[in-house]
Amino acid sequence: MFFNRVKSIENNIEKYFDNILRASLIFEQGIKEYLGSKFDEFEQRTKEIQKLESDTDDLRRDIKYTLYKELLIPDARGDVLGLLETIDNVIDISEKVMVRFSIEKPLIWDELLDDFIELTSASTKCVSELVCASRAFFKEISNVANFLTKVHFWEHEADKIEERIMRKAFSGDFTDKLSLKVHVRYFAERISQIADEAEAVAERLDIYTIKRSI
Amino acid sequence: MIQILIFLSSGLFLGWSLGANDAANVWGTAVGTRMVKFKQAAFFCSIFVILGAVVSGSGASHTLGKLGAINELAGAFTVALAAALSVLWMTKAALPVSTSQSIVGAIIGWNLFTGSEIDVNALLKILSTWVFSPILSAVVAVVLYFIISFFMKHWKIHLIRLDGITRIALIAAGIFGSYSLGANNIGNVMGVFINSASGMFTDFSIGSFFTFTGVQQLLLLGGAAIAVGVFTYSKKVMLTVGSQIYQLSPITAFIVVLSSSIVLFLFASKGLKEFLVSQNLPSFPLVPVSSSQAIVGAVIGIGIAKGGKNLNLKTLGKISIGWVATPLISAIVAFVFLYIVQNVFSQVVF
């Protein structure tokens, strides 16, 4: 009976991380489709990520409720809920960036397309390593540090690409309009912000891992 | 019967205070960290304290009997009362105190008052066991810590499932701890009454295979007093122990409870002693030891295993003060009380 409830909450946590991972992959595909001018497909992806974000919120509330109701993991409950809540910010930001793309339809010059794809890919890798680290926190604590190193690596890569895009946007002669340049900078910053958020969660996870060692 | 119960009341009071305080040593971390519900803890604790007392309690009680063969009920009453009040006063004065050390001091007080010869061998055995028990508890905790750490490193188990298993382990360790506490510490509660009161309870048999002796009935009564202490007063102490004094994770809490329970069991189990003797191996003396000190020893062991960061020399100092100060105070109190009971209340104390 007790272990059935344990199994159910284990499954919910796994599903939660699956959703985060799926959201980051949808985000990557969606941005690539936008940059490839496949706007219909992109809008479809935006709807998908919005639905996933809402489902993930419900799942998180369900996990939180069960952990408190069943008085599970009293010593690590706060940390686990903290982890689930902050990792949820990653999916929130991804969804918001896609919605902004959908509303503002930024003009990304051809010369910057590869850089944007590279930036999106770095941010996505950062999130996927964070999901691996979070799963390891639950199942294989000795492996958390390896994944966290990768999170930090990809966040640093994303920062470098973001800077490169900004330099190109402001030094190139794509346009005379400052507003367009600022617009491109804004979107590069937003995509990179996903990696920044993933790194912030990674830093918390690092502390939680130290606390969990017996 | 009423006269017996009145004279036993001091022992029962001692049992009550043991249940209120020492049960918290066994279950405090589990209840304080909300891993185990208090009602669950109190239920298991009461049953297994009584079982430990009745089944394995006579060994450690016998050693106390050797230290001072208190032959009169009024004498036993006074000795137990002196020990109980010393514990109460020292607790109020925030001094470290153990029922085991208090009762030994009170028995020595009786020996001095009656001019009986003190069995130096028994006394030395008891004193060295006191020093040895927290050290042994620390060693056991260090060994268990490394075994469990190794196991945890290679065992890919989900945190939530681990939590479930830890709860079961804490209950199992608590049950073992309660049994060991009953077996080891019942001597403190009823040991002084064995010579003078057990004869007043008649043996009875169920069929031909089970005989419930007078000593066992006496130990059952003491066990019941401990159980009452657990139910009526230990919750507060458990929550204090669990959440304020020891900042342990549930797994280290399990190690601490298991280590101290093993130590209490080693110094209480007649069966183990007989087995070791039959194998020509050195055996453990059956002596009531302090469960608090066994717990503190285990916590220090965990601190050492983690690199010595948590080692608190003040705590070590407090333990060694307890070895000397508690029996000394208790002996003086017992001496004074025996004088009053004999001369003011005209009771035969020896």
Higher per-residue confidence, A200 vs B28:
A200
What pLDDT does residue B311 have?
65
Average confidence (pLDDT) over A145-151: 97
Token reading at A52: 């996933």
Report how many Cβ contacts below 8 Å link chain A to chain B: 49
pLDDT above 70: residue A95: yes
Segment B134-181, tens digit of pLDDT = 999 999 999 999 999 988 888 888 999 998 899 999 999 999 999 999
Query: A81 touching B, CB under 8 A?
Result: no
The CA distance from A116 to A192, in Å, is: 10
Q: Do B159 and A137 touch (CB under 8 A)?
A: yes
Rounded to two decimals, the pTM is 0.84
Q: Do A214 and B164 touch (CB under 8 A)?
A: no
A209 Cα to chain B: minimum distance (Å): 12
Closest CB from A74, A141, A142 relative to B34: A74
B47 Cα to chain A: minimum distance (Å): 24
What pLDDT does residue B246 have?
54
A9 interaction partners in chain B (CB closer than 8 Å): 160
Closest CB from A72, A139, A214 relative to B163: A72
A141 Cα to chain B: minimum distance (Å): 8
What pLDDT does residue B108 have?
93
Give the helix, strand, coil percentages of chain A, each rounded to 5: 90, 0, 10
pLDDT above 60: residue A175: yes
Query: B225 touching A, CB under 8 A?
Result: no
Higher per-residue confidence, B23 vs A128:
A128
DSSP run (H or E) holding B205: strand B204-206
**From its phi and psi, is residue A37 left (phi > 0), alpha (psi between -120 and 50) or beta?**
left
The CA distance from A200 to A205, in Å, is: 9
Nearest CA in chain A to B35: A74
Q: Do A13 and B160 touch (CB under 8 A)?
A: yes
Say which residues have a Cβ less than 8 Å from residue A178's Cβ, sequence separation at least 6: none
The residues of chain B scoring below 50 in pLDDT are: none
Nearest to B40 by CA among B29, B52, B31, B51: B31
Closest CB from B33, B157, B251 relative to A214: B251
Higher per-residue confidence, A186 vs B292:
A186
What is the residue type of B211?
Answer: T
Burial class (CB in 10 A: 0-12, 13-18, 19+), B64: buried
Q: Do A138 and B145 touch (CB under 8 A)?
A: no
- Cβ atoms of B189 and B215 within 8 Å: the answer is no
Q: Do B158 and A10 touch (CB under 8 A)?
A: yes
Closest CB from A6, A74, A75 relative to B160: A6
A74 Cα to chain B: minimum distance (Å): 7
Q: Do A138 and B159 touch (CB under 8 A)?
A: yes
CA distances, B253 to each of A40, B100, B182, B304 (Å) = 58, 23, 20, 15
What pLDDT does residue B273 have?
86
Nearest to B264 by CA among B168, B188, B325: B188
Segment B47-98, tens digit of pLDDT = 999 999 988 888 888 888 788 888 888 899 999 999 999 888 877 776 667 8
Q: Taking the domains of chain B in order of start, what are their residue ranges?
A: 2-343
What is the residue type of A12?
Answer: N
Q: Do B163 and A2 touch (CB under 8 A)?
A: no
A181 Cα to chain B: minimum distance (Å): 48
The tokens 């066991």 sit on which residue?
A: B129
Query: B148 touching A, CB under 8 A?
Result: yes
Interface test with A, best of B144, B150, B159 (most A CBs within 10 A): B159
The tokens 């040895």 sit on which residue?
A: B132
Q: Do A74 and B250 touch (CB under 8 A)?
A: yes
Exposure class string for B9-31: b at 16+ Cβ within 10 A, else e:
ebbbbbbbbbbbbbbbbbbbbbb
ipTM of the predicted structure? 0.84
Chain Cα centroid distance, residue B147: 27
Query: What pLDDT band is residue A176 in, cutting at 50, 70 and 90?
Result: confident
Q: Which of residues 162-181 of B touch A (CB under 8 A)?
A: 163-164
Interface test with A, best of B40, B150, B154, B160 (most A CBs within 10 A): B160
